[in-house]
Amino acid sequence: MNVTNEEMVDFHTHILPGMDDGAKDAEESKKMLQMLVQQGVHTVCLTPHFYPYKETLEAFLNRREQAFSQIQPYAAEMGLRFVLASETFFNDYLFHSEDISPLCMKGSDGRSYLLTEMPFDSHFSDHTVSRISRLIDIYGVNPVLAHIERYPKLVNNKKLIDRLIDMGCLMQINLSVFEKGFFLKKRILSYIAKNMVHVVGTDSHNTEKRPPKYSEGISVIQKSLGEDAVNQLSRNAQQITGLCQEKFAIWGLHEMN
Ligand SMILES: [Fe+2]
């Protein structure tokens, strides 16, 4: 299967207006979406922050629905596909919810994928890993750990990443990582080559300070690892976001029962 630009997915954005520290209004959302379209993106995952200790799931979903209604018409106007989801902060309050499926993306494989933000000071201790395991067991979700490059205790520990993938986690990076230091960039590229990074996103928040910069990072991957690596990332994202009807394995994600 050849992946064209039409199938590129931005897996992580804060484009929904007025939801969090992302786009402040629908006008800014539109500009951000236009920037993504210009870079060949076809599917935009809308992943506003959800902090379970700050508001109830119901309140969050109501706010998300209202924000979404403001930009929904842009999908048809711009030829985009939206995937409504969340970036959910991992905290014990999350376990108070009975059903977290509205926070998740529904994959073509029937699985639910939860973009999960760990606390920035997380040490990824055995205790934390067991709580992640509990999340998987209780809700039957596959956590997609957001911007793994931001967590030194995780990104510098290949064995830990392997262990989390074995448990059913997936790994997401922000494409801005390739603007950072040489060693981090090299490490992330090696993880992509080993199928230990599964999806990429801009984590864009606005048009200026944290804009949707997609194609530059994709070019780095393409130049360093070739077209196949970009295609695999695209296929993973299509499967997780339910675009792909064809079922295939996400590299690095082991079959779960
Ligand atoms: Fe984010």
Average pLDDT, stretch 83-109?
95
- Ligand 1 mean position to 216 CA, how many Å? 19
* 19 CA to centre of ligand 1 in angstroms: 12
Q: Is residue 137 part of a domain?
A: yes
- Our count of domains for the chain comes to 1
Which chain residues have CB less than 5 Å from ligand 1, an ion? 87, 203
State in Å: Cα 23 to ligand 1 middle.
Answer: 12
In this model, does residue 181 exceed pLDDT 50?
yes
Tokens 């911007």 identify what position? Answer: 147
Please check the confidence at residue 255 and state whether its pLDDT lies above 50: no
CA of 82 to the centre of ligand 1 (A): 16
What is the token pair recorded at 167? 């448990």
**Residue 144 lies inside a defined structural domain of this protein:** yes
Tell me, in angstroms, the distance from the centre of ligand 1 to residue 89's CA: 10
C-alpha of residue 1 to centroid of ligand 1, in Å = 30
Q: Which two tokens stand for residue 116?
A: 């999960």
* 45 close to 234: Cβ distance less than 8 angstroms: no
Mean pLDDT for the stretch of residues 128-156? 97
Q: Give the predicted TM-score (pTM) of the model.
A: 0.94
Distance 140 CA to ligand 1 centre (A): 23
Within-domain flag for 79:
yes
Query: For residue 6, what pLDDT is reported?
Result: 42
Give the range of the structural domain holding residue 95, as residue numbers without chain letter: 5-240
251 pLDDT exceeds 80?
no
How many angstroms separate the Cα of 90 from the Cα of each of 49, 132, 159, 203, 220? 11, 8, 21, 17, 30
Show the tokens assigned to 30. Answer: 């539109």
Cα(47) to ligand 1 centroid in Å equals 7
User: What CATH number is given to the structural domain containing 23?
Assistant: 3.20.20.140
Domain annotation covers residue 165: yes
CA of 86 to the centre of ligand 1 (A): 9
Does residue 246 lie within any of the structural domains?
Answer: no
249 falls within a domain = no
The CA 15 to ligand 1 mean position distance, Å, reads 10
- Whether the pLDDT of residue 120 is over 70: the answer is yes
Q: Is residue 248, in this structure, part of any structural domain at all?
A: no
If one counts every other C-beta atom within 10 angstroms of the C-beta of residue 116, the result is 24
- Nearest CA-CA partner of 13 in 196, 243, 214, 155: 214
Which pLDDT does position 1 carry in this prediction? 37
pLDDT tens-digit map of 21-33: 999 999 999 999 9
User: Is residue 250 a part of any domain in this protein?
Assistant: no
What single string gives the DSSP state of each residue in the chain? ----GGGEEE--B--STTSSSS-SSHHHHHHHHHHHHHTTEEEEEE--EE-TTTS-HHHHHHHHHHHHHHHHHHHHHHT-EEEE--EEE--GGGGG-S--GGGSEEPTTS-EEEEEEPPTT----HHHHHHHHHHHHHH-EEEEES-GGG-HHHHT-HHHHHHHHHHT-EEEEEGGGGGS-HHHHHHHHHHHHTT---EEE--B-SSSSS----HHHHHHHHHHH-HHHHHHHHHHHHHHTT---S--PPTTPPP--
